[in-house]
C-alpha cells in the first residue's frame, strides 16, 4: 500500500516538457534517454501505422519519450514541395504534395517576396500533412554545371543563394513548422558523395561556400541545419567542431539543432562533440556509442546535455508537441495556382529575335521534342515530389488554345510510352524519381511535311538529373547528335518557309547553348518548373505573363571554360582504389581540389574578360527598361545606401530584376572584377511607369576574407557600384569612397588552411 502511494508520488512528480522547464526535464532524463533523443528512429522502430506521428514516405522521425510528453517529430524531404507517399495502405485518400518549381528556377525569379509567398504555401502542406520540419532549402553553390543536384540548389553566387534561401525559410516557418538548411557544407558533387573530401582554401570557403548559409542563417533563423555527407579538408562536416560550433554557432549565432544527412556514419561520438545534435536517420548502434562514450569519459556528459537541451528547445516549437490537429487536406488547388505563378516568374527569356514572342496570330503549332510529353517537373532523388499530376507542354499549349499537329503529338506520346514500358521491362533502376527518355530522330521528309500544316515550330529540349549521380559532358551538357540534328532540320525547314522556331529548355542545370543558339528565333529557359509547368510555359509564350527571370549562373561557351572543370568528376573516376584517409586516393573520387579557389562562375569570367554564351544575371523581357539616377551614399560608419530609378520604356507591362555589383578599390587583396552585393525586383511597371529601388549595404558585406590575417577586411577607397541588367552591363554606375578600412574578427576555424 505504502509502495503504491510512493510510486504514484514519483509518477506525478515526473516533469512533463513545457517551453519553460527544459532544464528540469533534462535533469530528470537518464543517460539512455538522452542518447535516444539524439538519434533518429526510422531504421528500427517507426511509429505504428495510423499513429498521428507516422507520415508514410517522410524521410525520418525523431524519437518520442512519452514519460516526459516528448512526441516523435516528422521530417519529410523538400525542397520543391513536401515529399511523402501519395497513397497509404488501408486508406482510399491521396496525400499528394504540390510540385513547385525547383530551386534553380525560383532563384531565377530574383524575387524574395515571390519565393516567400510560394514557400508559405509549401509550409502549409508540411503543417497540414502532419510534419514538423521540411528538409530544405538546399543551398550548395553551383560550383560546376555538372553537379547532379544543382537543380535543387540556387546559384553560383552566394548572395543570391543566401537571400533566396532566407526567403524560402521565412515562408515555410511562417506556418509554425521548421526548415533544415542543407547540405552544410561544400557538398558540390554527387560522385562518391558520402566520402569525397572537398579540399578548399579558407578564403573560398568563407566567401563562396559558406557565405550563402551565413546570410540565410543570420537573416531567417532556420530551426535546423543538415550537415553534409562529405569531408571538408579531411574531416567529415558532421564531425567538424570548426564548422558546426565555431563558425555556425559562435560566429553566426545559430541556435537551432544540427542533424546529419541520412548517413549513419561511424564517428557518432565525434559528431556529437562537434555539435551535431541529431544523428539521422538513426540506428541503435549510434545510441549505444553515445552511452558508452559518456560512461567511458570519451564524451563529456555536458556535451551530450548541451545537444539534448537543443533538441528539447526544438521539440517545444513543433506542431506535434503543440498537439496541432492537422487536416491531411491542404488546399492543393490554391497551391497549384501559386506553383504556376512562381514558375512563370522564374522562366528566363534568352533570345527573342524580331519579337517572335509573345506569339501573335499563331494557331497551329508543330511541337517537337519528346520532352514536350515526357516533361520534367523536377529532378530525381529525395528532391522529387510525389505530385498528383504534371501538366506537360502538350497539355499546356492545348489548354492555351493552340492546335497541335496531331501526327507529331501522337508519335511523341507513343514513343515515350513505349520507351517507359521498355525501361520498366528492362528493369532499369530509377532512383526515387522520374526517368528521362532520350530524344528520338525524325526524318527530314517527315519534318518538311509538317511545315505547311503549322504556323510555327517549338522544339523542347529536356534534361533530368538528381541525387546520387553527376551529369556528363557528352550527351548531357552538350546536346546529343539527335537533338542537334532535330534543331538543325526543324529550323532549316521552317526558316525556308519563312516560319519561326522557338526552343524551350526544360532543364535543371546548365547545358551548352553557344553552338546552336543561332538556329532558333527565340529561346525560353523554362527550367524544371513544377507540376504546372506546361501551363506556365504557355503563359509566357502567349504573353499572359511577361517573362522577368534572369540567370542565377553563367552559361559558358564550353564546359572546360569553368576552372572547376579541371577538378570535377566527369565519369572517368575509378571507384575502389582508395588511399589512406583518401589522401592518396583517386582524384575527384576520394578527394576534390577546389584549386580554382574563389574563381567560381562569373567571378572568373568577368575578371578574365572571357566570352560566355549568356552571362550571369541575363534575361530578356517583352518590354524594355531604362535605368537612371544612380545614387550611392555612405554614412560616417561606411553604411551604404544606393538607389536607381527604373523606367519601363516599352509597350507592355513588366518587372525588372536589378542587380547591384561592386568593384572594390584597386590594391590590397586580389578581388573579382565585380561581385553581386544586392538585388531587387520592381513591381509590375506599366509602360512609361518608373520605380526607384533602394539598397542598403553594410561595410561588412563589402569585406573579403584575408587568409593571412584570418579576418574579414573592407578596404578604404573608391568603390564603383553598377546597377546592372546582368553582370556584363556596366552602363549605369556611381562611385562612393569609404574613408575608413574595416576588419572583422572570426574564430580560428580552418585558419590553418590557406
* Nearest of 79, 98, 134 to residue 386 by alpha carbon: 98
Please identify, using beta-carbon distances, which residue of 59 and 126 lies nearer to ligand BGC.
59
DSSP track, 259-282: EE-S---S-HHHHHHHT--BBSS-
CB of 139 to ligand BGC, least distance (A): 11
| Binding positions for ligand BGC, rule: CB under 6 A | 59, 77, 135, 182, 261-262, 382, 467
Please identify, using beta-carbon distances, which residue of 57 and 717 lies nearer to ligand BGC.
57
CB of 149 to ligand BGC, least distance (A): 8
Cross-strand pairs, 120 = none
Inter-CA distances, 603 with 144, 208, 597, 613, 662, Å: 13, 10, 11, 15, 12
Cα torsion through 645, 651, 655, 656, rounded to 10: -50
Cis, peptide link before residue 733, omega less than 30° from 0: no
| 496: Cα within 13 Å, side-chain hemisphere | 11
CA-only gyration radius of the chain, Å? 27
* Residues 308 and 63 sit within 8 Å (Cβ to Cβ): no
Cα torsion through 46, 47, 49, 51, rounded to 10: -160
- The sign of the torsion formed by the CA atoms of 597, 601, 603, 606 equals positive
Please give the DSSP secondary-structure letter assigned to residue 327: -
* Catalytic annotation present for 261: yes
Please identify, using beta-carbon distances, which residue of 136 and 621 lies nearer to ligand BGC.
136
Please identify, using beta-carbon distances, which residue of 135 and 273 lies nearer to ligand BGC.
135
CB of 122 to ligand BGC, least distance (A): 15
CB of 601 to ligand BGC, least distance (A): 23
| 79: Cα within 13 Å, side-chain hemisphere | 33
Please identify, using beta-carbon distances, which residue of 130 and 699 lies nearer to ligand BGC.
130
How many residues appear in the chain? 754
Maximum Cα–Cα distance across the chain: 101
Distance (Å, whole) CA 400 – CA 419: 28
Task: Give the number of other Cβ atoms within 10 Å of residue 130's Cβ.
Answer: 23
Please identify, using beta-carbon distances, which residue of 61 and 382 lies nearer to ligand BGC.
382
Cross-strand pairs, 138 = 182
CB of 182 to ligand BGC, least distance (A): 5
Please identify, using beta-carbon distances, which residue of 15 and 468 lies nearer to ligand BGC.
468
CB of 278 to ligand BGC, least distance (A): 13
Choice among 157, 197, 242, 261 that is catalytic? 261
Cross-strand pairs, 460 = 504
Please identify, using beta-carbon distances, which residue of 183 and 289 lies nearer to ligand BGC.
183
DSSP track, 467-499: TT----IIIIISPPHHHHHHHHHHHHHHHHTT-
CB of 620 to ligand BGC, least distance (A): 34
CB of 262 to ligand BGC, least distance (A): 4
Residues serving a catalytic function are 261
Amino acid at each position: 500500500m505504502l509502495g503504491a502511494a510512493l510510486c504514484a508520488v514519483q509518477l506525478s512528480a515526473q516533469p512533463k516538457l513545457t517551453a519553460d522547464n527544459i532544464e528540469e526535464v533534462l535533469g530528470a532524463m537518464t543517460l539512455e534517454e538522452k542518447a535516444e533523443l539524439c538519434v533518429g528512429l526510422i531504421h528500427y522502430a517507426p511509429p505504428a501505422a495510423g499513429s498521428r506521428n507516422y507520415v508514410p514516405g517522410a524521410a525520418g522521425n525523431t524519437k518520442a519519450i512519452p514519460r516526459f510528453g516528448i512526441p516523435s517529430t516528422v521530417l519529410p524531404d523538400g525542397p520543391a514541395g513536401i515529399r511523402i507517399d501519395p497513397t497509404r495502405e488501408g486508406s482510399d485518400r491521396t496525400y499528394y504534395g504540390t510540385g513547385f518549381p525547383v530551386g534553380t528556377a525560383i532563384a531565377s525569379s530574383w524575387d524574395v517576396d515571390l519565393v516567400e509567398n510560394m514557400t508559405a504555401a509549401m509550409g502549409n502542406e508540411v503543417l497540414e500533412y502532419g510534419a514538423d520540419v521540411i528538409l530544405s532549402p538546399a543551398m550548395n553553390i553551383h560550383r560546376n554545371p555538372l553537379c547532379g543536384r544543382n537543380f535543387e540548389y540556387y546559384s553560383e553566387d552566394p548572395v543570391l543563394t543566401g537571400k533566396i534561401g532566407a526567403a524560402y525559410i521565412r515562408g515555410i516557418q511562417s506556418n509554425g513548422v521548421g526548415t533544415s538548411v542543407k547540405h552544410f557544407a561544400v557538398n558540390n558533387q554527387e560522385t562518391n558523395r558520402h566520402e569525397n573530401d572537398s579540399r578548399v582554401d579558407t578564403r573560398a570557403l568563407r566567401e563562396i561556400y559558406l557565405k550563402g548559409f551565413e546570410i540565410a542563417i543570420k537573416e531567417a533563423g532556420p530551426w535546423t541545419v543538415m550537415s553534409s555527407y562529405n569531408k571538408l579538408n579531411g574531416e567529415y562536416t558532421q564531425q567538424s567542431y570548426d564548422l558546426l560550433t565555431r563558425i555556425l554557432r559562435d560566429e553566426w549565432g545559430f541556435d537551432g539543432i544540427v542533424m546529419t544527412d541520412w548517413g549513419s556514419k561511424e564517428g557518432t561520438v565525434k559528431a556529437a562533440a562537434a555539435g551535431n545534435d541529431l544523428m539521422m536517420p538513426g540506428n541503435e548502434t549510434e545510441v549505444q556509442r553515445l552511452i558508452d562514450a559518456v560512461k567511458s569519459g570519451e564524451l563529456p556528459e555536458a556535451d551530450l546535455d548541451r545537444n539534448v537541451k537543443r533538441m528539447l528547445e526544438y521539440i517545444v516549437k513543433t506542431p506535434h508537441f503543440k498537439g496541432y490537429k492537422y487536416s491531411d487536406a491542404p488546399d492543393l488547388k490554391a497551391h497549384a495556382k501559386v506553383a504556376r505563378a512562381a514558375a512563370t516568374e522564374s522562366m528566363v527569356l534568352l533570345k527573342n529575335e524580331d519579337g517572335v514572342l509573345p506569339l501573335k496570330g499563331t494557331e497551329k503549332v508543330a511541337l517537337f521534342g519528346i520532352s514536350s510529353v515526357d516533361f520534367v517537373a523536377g529532378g530525381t532523388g529525395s528532391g522529387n515530389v510525389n505530385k498528383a499530376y504534371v501538366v506537360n507542354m502538350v497539355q499546356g499549349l492545348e489548354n492555351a488554345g493552340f492546335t497541335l499537329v496531331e501526327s507529331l503529338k501522337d508519335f511523341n506520346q507513343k514513343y515515350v510510352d513505349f520507351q517507359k514500358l521498355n525501361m520498366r521491362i528492362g528493369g532499369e533502376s530509377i532512383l526515387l524519381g522520374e526517368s528521362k527518355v532520350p530524344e528520338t530522330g525524325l526524318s527530314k521528309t517527315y519534318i518538311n511535311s509538317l511545315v505547311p500544316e503549322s504556323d510555327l515550330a517549338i522544339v523542347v529540349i529536356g534534361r533530368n538529373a538528381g541525387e546520387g549521380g553527376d551529369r556528363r559532358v557528352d550527351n548531357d551538357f552538350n546536346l546529343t547528335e539527335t537533338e542537334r540534328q532535330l534543331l538543325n532540320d526543324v529550323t532549316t525547314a521552317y526558316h525556308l518557309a519563312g516560319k519561326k522556331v522557338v526552343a524551350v529548355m526544360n532543364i535543371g542545370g546548365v547545358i551548352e547553348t553557344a553552338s546552336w543558339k543561332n538556329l532558333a528565333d527565340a529561346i525560353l529557359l523554362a527550367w524544371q518548373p513544377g507540376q504546372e509547368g506546361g501551363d506556365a510555359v504557355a503563359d509566357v509564350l502567349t504573353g499572359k505573363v511577361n517573362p522577368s527571370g534572369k540567370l542565377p549562373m553563367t552559361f559558358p561557351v564550353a564546359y572546360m571554360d569553368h576552372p572547376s572543370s579541371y577538378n570535377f568528376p566527369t565519369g572517368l573516376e575509378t571507384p575502389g582504389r582508395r588511399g589512406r584517409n583518401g589522401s592518396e586516393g583517386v582524384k575527384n573520387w576520394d578527394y576534390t581540389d577546389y584549386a580554382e579557389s574563389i574563381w567560381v562562375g562569373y567571378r572568373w569570367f568577368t575578371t578574365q574578360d572571357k566570352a560566355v554564351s549568356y552571362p550571369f544575371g541575363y534575361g530578356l523581357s517583352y518590354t524594355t527598361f531604362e535605368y537612371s539616377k544612380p545614387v550611392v551614399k555612405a554614412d560616417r560608419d561606411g553604411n551604404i545606401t544606393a538607389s536607381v530609378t527604373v523606367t519601363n520604356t516599352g509597350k507592355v507591362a513588366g518587372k525588372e530584376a536589378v542587380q547591384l555589383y561592386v568593384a572594390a578599390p584597386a590594391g590590397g587583396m586580389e578581388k573579382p572584377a565585380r561581385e553581386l552585393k544586392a538585388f531587387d525586383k520592381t513591381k509590375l511597371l506599366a509602360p512609361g511607369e518608373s520605380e526607384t529601388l533602394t539598397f542598403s549595404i553594410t561595410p561588412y558585406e563589402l569585406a573579403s576574407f584575408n587568409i593571412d590575417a584570418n579576418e574579414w577586411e573592407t578596404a578604404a577607397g573608391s568603390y564603383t557600384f553598377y546597377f546592372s541588367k546582368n553582370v556584363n552591363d556596366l552602363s549605369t554606375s556611381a562611385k562612393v569612397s569609404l574613408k575608413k578600412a574595416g576588419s572583422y574578427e572570426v574564430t580560428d576555424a580552418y585558419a590553418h588552411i590557406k
